[in-house]
Amino acid sequence: MSVEQLLSDFKKNKSWDKQYRLIIQLGKKLPALTEVEKIEANQVKGCESLAWLVIEKQGESYHFKMDSDTRVVKGLMMILTIVFQGKSALQIEAIDINDIFTQLGLLNHLSPSRANGLLAIVHKIKGV
């Protein structure tokens, strides 16, 4: 799925209830981490839920594996995967994630703690 397709899907599903269901559906597509990968070193601090992020560099591009103990966070992680997966450090730095979140309407509906957790994951990704 591309960022454009993601934005289109959210625009088609205008109500928060439909967008929430879309986030849950996206979370079901996120591949689970192995128990070996769910270590403290991969845990994202600042998330209310348990959340893990594994960053792998392959050539010039970065690949991200993420997991959480909640369905909503998994869906939000899938959105981040769609946005950042396979990009170089320069491409990652150039992404205006706040603009994408605004277009999706995410930050208006997330609790402050969930929004902070999402931004903590973005901060780790942008730190590559």
Mind telling me the catalytic residues? 47
Q: Quickly list DSSP for 19-51.
A: HHHHHHHHHHHSPPPPTTT-SGGGBPTT-SS-E
Question: What 3 state SS string does 44-113 have?
Answer: CCCCCCCEEEEEEEECCEEEEEEEECCHHHHHHHHHHHHHHCCCEHHHHHHCCHHHHHHHHCCCCCCCHH
